[in-house]
Chain A
Amino acid sequence: MMNYLFAAFMLIGVVAGGITGTMDAVLQNIFDFAQSGVDIALGLIGTMAFFCGLMKLMEESGLCDKLGKAIYPVMRLLFPDVPADHPANSIMALYFAANILGIGNAATPFGLKTMQELQTLNKTKNIATNAQCMLMAISTTSITLLPSTVISIRASIQADGAAEIVVPVIIATTISTVTGVGFSLLFQRTKRWKLENVIEREIAAGTLEVNEDYIGDDPIVLPEGYKLKTDFGSKEE
């Protein structure tokens, strides 16, 4: 789906830009957004480094295991594929906590680390697992209880009643998250998006890559003579 959408954005951009006579803006945005992509990513390095250091400390001291065990009964409901003793449980708990409190700067490193921990349970390198999709369903629909950015924008325009939207936001974000999670649970069972089916299709198409860092006990057995079509020779390290 991402494949087609990505292509569609650019193709539609060029065609619509031509029709509406905004091609100069289309061109300018390519350079502007390429720059901002790098700026955003590099801007993450500092906080990423700090919180990765903190999370390493949690793992090494055994705090991760303790927190993970405590939170596991809750996590199991949404992430049944994640074992009780896996570090993803505790990091994910911190990620959700930071999100709920609206501490975006800390939430991103926790979230990225969660994604990386979940990747150790991924048999493939390139296909999202159910747990990863569930994490994204929750993340993309937001679980922030206090929309501080929106409130400060409103307050800068008119102080009176700036925070009146808090309760509506809490209700609306709950509805959006329940919807996202609900559809995610539904979609992961459909013929089109079921993990086993997607893996099968990618093996047939020769686009599946096996994850060497998979720590589970059920790795993918590739058919005899499998050849990766998307190996462009850039994988040597």
Chain B
Amino acid sequence: MSVQDVFNAISTWAIPVVIFIVVGYALAKRVPIYSVFTTGAKDGFSTAVMIIPYLVAMLCAIGMLRASGAMDAFCNLIDPITSLIGCPGEVLPFAVMRSFSGGGAEGMMTELVTTYGTQSQIGRIASVAMGSTETTFYILAVYFGSVGVTNSRHSVAAGLLGDLASLIASCVIVNLLWGYGF
């Protein structure tokens, strides 16, 4: 059994075990389980509906940006800078997309890995960058939307700097680990 198998087993068992503990504990404490559970479940509906306007607004704006070709122009602009950290130009459009659209980035990563191979420099950097951060704008729209917060203060800046750190780290680690040099 590999480390990954152990990890998968933990992931599969964690939630059912938590459910068992929560329901068992509530039963022991004589909580009216069915009515309490369904009362809580009602919140799920309102939360989902609450985030719709924020999510639609953010996704549409990102959708327009994505289709316009502006991101490619931006990539050409920053390519000389990112090549300093050993980031191949082919990875850049994906790296920029990573902050905006999870689905878009996943598609581009799949394309890169298919074209250049899973064990190529480009394929590896894209894979590591994909796995090491989240879609900043999507997360912020959903979570702040769920409580109606519109002034997110420094969250965008911190999230994007985190994305940048993820890209730099991905390039440096892959280049060092597999000896691609800079």
Contact of B78 with A by CB under 8 A: no
Q: Which residue of A lies closest to B170 (CB)?
A: A172
- B127 contacts A154, CB within 8 Å? yes
Q: Does B128 count as interface, using CB distance less than 8 angstroms?
A: yes
Distance (whole angstroms) from the CB of B11 to the closest CB of chain A: 5
A3 to B151 CA separation, bound complex (whole angstroms): 8
Of A1, A20, A44, A172, the contact of B169 (CB 8 Å cutoff): A172
Across-interface contacts of B65 in A (CB, < 8 A):
9-10, 12-13, 16
B40 beta carbon closer than 8 Å to chain A: yes
Kindly identify which residue among A20, A33, A176 contacts B68, using a CB–CB cutoff of 8 Å: A20
Report A-chain residues with C-beta under 8 Å of the C-beta of B4.
Answer: 146, 151, 163, 166
B37 at the interface (CB under 8 A from A): yes
Q: Quick one: CB contact mask for A94-105 with B, threshold 8 Å, 1 for yes?
A: 100110011100
Contact of A171 among B14, B43, B55, B169 (CB under 8 A): B169
Given A126-B151, A140-B140, A190-B154, 12 new contacts (CB under 8 A)? A36-B59, A45-B48, A57-B33, A128-B153, A140-B163, A141-B162, A145-B7, A149-B131, A172-B173, A180-B159, A180-B162, A198-B151
Measuring CB to CB, which residues of chain A are less than 8 angstroms from any residue of chain B? 1-3, 5-6, 9-10, 12-17, 19-20, 22, 25-26, 28-30, 32-34, 36-38, 40-42, 44-63, 94, 97-98, 101-103, 106, 108-109, 111-113, 115-116, 118-119, 122, 125-128, 132-133, 135-137, 139-142, 144-151, 153-154, 157-158, 160-166, 168-169, 171-173, 175-181, 183-184, 187-188, 190, 193, 195, 198, 202
Enumerate 18 A-B pairs (CB-CB under 8 Å) in ascending A order.
A6-B58, A12-B65, A16-B69, A17-B69, A37-B56, A44-B51, A48-B43, A53-B41, A57-B23, A58-B22, A112-B146, A126-B149, A132-B147, A140-B162, A168-B170, A172-B166, A176-B166, A181-B158
Nearest chain B CB to A184 CB, angstrom units: 4
Distance A63 CA – B140 CA, assembled complex (angstroms): 29
Q: In the complex the two chains form, what is the Cα distance from A169 to B109 in whole Å?
A: 15
Binding site for A on B (CB under 8 A): 3-4, 7-8, 10-11, 14-15, 18-19, 21-23, 25-26, 29, 31, 33, 36-45, 47-49, 51-52, 55-70, 73, 106, 109-110, 113-114, 117-119, 123-124, 127-136, 139-140, 142-144, 146-159, 161-166, 169-170, 173-174, 177
Is the CB–CB distance between A184 and B154 below 8 Å? yes
Q: Tell me which of A101, A164, A193 contacts B154 (CB under 8 A).
A: A193
Question: B138 CB to closest chain A CB, in angstroms?
Answer: 9
Does A133 lie within 8 Å of B155, measured CB to CB? yes
**A176 B163 Cβ-Cβ under 8 A:** yes
4 interchain residue pairs of minimum CB distance = A56-B40, A147-B131, A13-B64, A49-B44
Chain A residues lying within 8 Å of B163, measured Cβ to Cβ, are 140-141, 176
Contact of A106 (CB < 8 Å), options: B15, B42, B135: B15
Q: Is the CB of A141 within 8 A of B133?
A: yes
B158 adjacent to A62 (CB under 8 Å) = no
Check A169/B131 contact, CB under 8 A, given A13-B64, A187-B154.
yes
Contact for A161 among B51, B62, B118, B174, CB less than 8 A: B118
Shortest Cβ gap from B30 to chain A (Å): 9
